[in-house]
Every structure is written in C-alpha cells, then in structure tokens.
Amino acid sequence: MVKTAKNMKLNSKKIKAKSEKIGIGVIGVGTMGRGHALYLSQYVKDSKVVAIYDANISVANKVAKEVSKKSKFLLKVYNELSQLFSDSEVQAVIIASPDHLHARHLGQAINANKHVLCEKPLASTEKDARKVAKLVRQSNSIVGLGFMRRFDQAYQKLKSEINTGKYGKVLQIRATSRNVSSPTATTSMLLTNVAVHEMDIIRWLLGEEIVSVQVNFAKKTRKANSYLSDPISVNCHTESGVLATIDIFANSTYGYEVAMEVITENGSLVIENLGELSIAKNFKLPARKSGNLHKDWMGRFKPAYIAELKAFVSSLKNKKLHKDFATIEDGLAASIACGLGVKKL
Ligand SMILES: NC(=O)c1ccc[n+]([C@@H]2O[C@H](COP(=O)([O-])OP(=O)(O)OC[C@H]3O[C@@H](n4cnc5c(N)ncnc54)[C@H](O)[C@@H]3O)[C@@H](O)[C@H]2O)c1
C-alpha cells in the first residue's frame, strides 16, 4: 500500500467526525473513475473515497493526491486489487475500469461482499453479462449500473412528458451520439460502449425490449483507425414496432453531441445537444438553445453523475437500490441488445 499526500496537514478531529461516512473504493481512475472520486469528495455527503486501485500506479497516485486534497482525507492506494477487496473500510466499490473487465471486477466485488456501482456497460459480451448477472442475483450486494442518463433532468422530463399520454403513442426515436475523437475505438465498441447508452434509455423510456438491430455504414472519415467504421447508423425495432435510429460518430472533431428526438402521434420531443428538452406541437416550434458544445460527457452530464452518486450512497444507507438506477437486469438487457448489433458486423 502506498500512502499519498504525505505532507498534507490532517486534522484528526475532522477525520474522526467523518468516520461515520460510507467508505468507497474506486477501481480504475482514468477519466470516469477520477471524475466519480472527485465528485464523491466534493458533492456527496455521507461518503468518502477511502481507497483506489488502478493498473497504472502512477495514475492512481496522482488521482489519490487530488482526491485527498479535496476531501482532506488520506486515502489508500493499493498495488493489488485483492488488497482493496480485503479492506474492511471499503463498504462499496465503483468499477470504472475498461469495459471488458467490468464483469470480472463485479464478480470479484460480489465475492468480497461489497456493494457496487459498476460503470456501463455491464460487460462487453452477452456471455459475460449473463454469467455475472447470475452471480449478482444470488448475492446480497446492492448493485447499480452507471447509466447516468437516467439521472439527467432532460431525460427524466422527456419520460414524464411521454407518460402523460398527451402526445399520443411513441412511433419513432432518432438519437445522435458524437464524440470529438476516439483513437482506440473499434466498430463493435460503437455498439457495446456507445450505443449501449441509447439501448438502455430507449428501454427505460418505452418500457419494452429491443428485438432487432441492423447496422448501416456511412462513408468513412479519414480520422478513423483501421478497426473502425465511422460514422455508423444503428437501426433498432422494439417489441411494439417503434423504430429507433442511433447515429454514432466517434471522431466528429467539432464537438460532443448527445441528442434524442422522440416522434409521437402528436408531436416531436427533442433533447438538445446542450441538454434542454424542447417540444414541437400544434404548429409551434420553441426557440432552441445555442451555445458552445461540450468537449465530452463529463461537462454535459456532470449534474447527472452527481445525482447518480448521491442516489448510490442513499441506496447504501437505505439498503435498497434507488429507483432511478439501472439494475443488473437492465444492464443485461442492454448488453443483449448490443450483441444483436455486433452479430451484424
Ligand atoms: N457513464 C458514462 O457516461 C461513461 C463515460 C465514460 C466512460 N464510461 C465507462 O467508464 C469506464 C472507464 O472509462 P474511461 O473513459 O475512464 O477510460 P480510461 O481509459 O480513461 O480509464 C480506465 C482506467 O482503468 C485502468 N485500468 C486498466 N486495466 C485495469 C485493471 N485491470 N484494473 C484496474 N484498472 C485498470 C487504466 O489504467 C485507466 O486508468 C469504461 O467502462 C467506460 O465505458 C462511462
């Protein structure tokens, strides 16, 4: 174990007062894990990050220093993941390692009796997702998945507007997902890593499963590596026949965009790229927001990540997964839907 922030002046009284807080360990502290650790320290009372593990020890040390500075708490950096799992101060873990390791890390966390917030996707393959879902079902751990759009105000408003019934039935959904740059992406990742967000939110919005997926290819950008066809268009049908088209561009260069239009019998409900819901109905198109695009998801979805972390900590306190979380069954269903698309590549 490496202690960090050695020179930090620690106020022992403060630490004692904070000892009631739920201890959280973070596995993988790249962009997302670092973000979760910092947001927990800054915005989520009743919790503290007590330990970190990352396969890259220098990344782990750097993030631990940053987090310690924010929380005024000296946290532990482990050389081995097993050490984090044996730490009794770690009551719950956040898994933010690369996608293909989620199922393994989640299984290990369950075996160590830890509660878990596992980043999306549940797994990179349907096989791994099914295997780990079985383990979770048999455990007593609280497990939530990091589909943070469920905590985003615009998506929540969209769902409640649809549920009023005043726009009639949903007929079609058009979604856009664009990243600025994705140097290591592959075409199958556009499904399992990117479209998995839309697969989840479509199921959540409509309360029905995705039953078929087609993938169509656009002219390829010169920015894409040799393993990546970019952009692509993913066309899905749900059980009741709603057509959902997810247009993905992993190397847009010009900005990060996540948008969704839900076309109903009586209107068009749009979540804009800057996160506003606007509704076109009765020949009226509301003014739509313009401005600077975000560079990535951390800016656009910051409030949703914080809401998700607060909900996770409240789940631990109430011993029950918060109602807004994607469950293990949701994670499995989204992975199955992505698998339908991967088979078409
Ligand atoms: N919910 C969201 O909006 C959202 C956004 C971005 C990423 N994610 C997910 O979060 C996860 C991490 O993504 P990221 O963008 O932070 O990636 P990243 O590459 O920035 O970070 C991954 C980190 O995991 C570490 N790592 C690699 N192997 C490991 C191992 N065996 N054990 C522990 N750590 C290991 C790496 O050293 C790195 O620091 C991915 O699964 C991704 O799909 C979710």
pLDDT along the chain (345 residues), means of 10: 44 46 97 98 95 98 96 94 98 98 98 98 97 98 98 97 97 98 98 98 98 98 98 98 98 96 97 88 87 92 98 97 98 98 97
Count other C-beta atoms under 10 Å from residue 201's C-beta.
25
CB 167 within 8 A of CB 160: no
Q: Which of 73, 71, 75 is nearest to 90 (CA)?
A: 75
Instruction: Give the residue, by CA position, lying nearest to ligand 1 atom 39.
Output: 30
**Which CATH number applies to 150-300+328-342: 3.90.1150.10, 3.10.129.10, 3.40.50.410, 3.30.360.10?**
3.30.360.10
What is the model's pLDDT at position 290? 86
- Report the separation in Å between the CA atom of 87 and the middle of ligand 1, taken as the mean of its atom positions: 22
What the block records as the tokens of 341 is 């698309």
Ligand 1 closest atom vs CA 105 = 32
Count other C-beta atoms under 10 Å from residue 60's C-beta.
24
Ligand 1 closest atom vs CA 301 = 3
Could you tell me where the beta strands, DSSP code E, fall in 75-225? 76-77, 92-95, 115-118, 143-145, 170-178, 210-217
Residue 16 has phi, psi (to 5 degrees) of: -60, -45
- Report the separation in Å between the CA atom of 170 and the middle of ligand 1, taken as the mean of its atom positions: 35
User: Which residue ranges have their beta carbon within 6 Å of ligand 1?
Assistant: 27-33, 53-56, 59, 96-99, 101, 119-120, 146, 148, 193, 297, 301
What is the model's pLDDT at position 272? 86
Instruction: Give the residue, by CA position, lying nearest to ligand 1 atom 30.
Output: 55
Residue at token pair 């290990």: 108
Q: How many CA atoms lie within 13 A of 66 on its CB side?
A: 18
Ligand 1 closest atom vs CA 27 = 33
Q: What value does the CA radius of gyration of the chain take, rounded to a whole number of Å?
A: 21
Distance from CA of residue 77 to its chain's centroid?
24
- Report the separation in Å between the CA atom of 28 and the middle of ligand 1, taken as the mean of its atom positions: 6
Q: At what angle do helices 196-206 and 153-164 cross, to 10 degrees?
A: 30
DSSP 8-state symbol, 166: T
What is the model's pLDDT at position 287? 83
What is the model's pLDDT at position 18? 45
What is the model's pLDDT at position 285? 87
Instruction: Give the residue, by CA position, lying nearest to ligand 1 atom 19.
Output: 30
Instruction: Give the residue, by CA position, lying nearest to ligand 1 atom 11.
Output: 96
- Report the separation in Å between the CA atom of 100 and the middle of ligand 1, taken as the mean of its atom positions: 10
β-strand partners of 187: none
CATH 3.90.1150.10 fits 2-148, yes or no: no
- Report the separation in Å between the CA atom of 54 and the middle of ligand 1, taken as the mean of its atom positions: 9
CB 48 within 8 A of CB 71: yes
Ligand 1 closest atom vs CA 60 = 39
Domain extent listing, the chain:
2-148, 150-300+328-342
- Report the separation in Å between the CA atom of 280 and the middle of ligand 1, taken as the mean of its atom positions: 38
Helix, strand, or coil (residue 47):
strand
139: left (phi over 0), alpha (psi -120 to 50) or beta: beta
Residue 325 to residues 150, 210, 307: CA-CA distances in angstroms? 7, 19, 11
Instruction: Give the residue, by CA position, lying nearest to ligand 1 atom 25.
Output: 28
Q: Of the residues 53, 57, 119, which should be mutated to test ligand 1's pocket, given the most ligand atoms within 8 Å of the CB?
A: 119
- What is the C-alpha to C-alpha distance for residues 64 and 77, in angstroms, rounded to an integer? 7
Residue 340 to residues 25, 116, 214: CA-CA distances in angstroms? 34, 27, 8
What is the model's pLDDT at position 5? 41
Q: Could you tell me the pTM of the whole model? A: 0.94
- Report the separation in Å between the CA atom of 337 and the middle of ligand 1, taken as the mean of its atom positions: 22
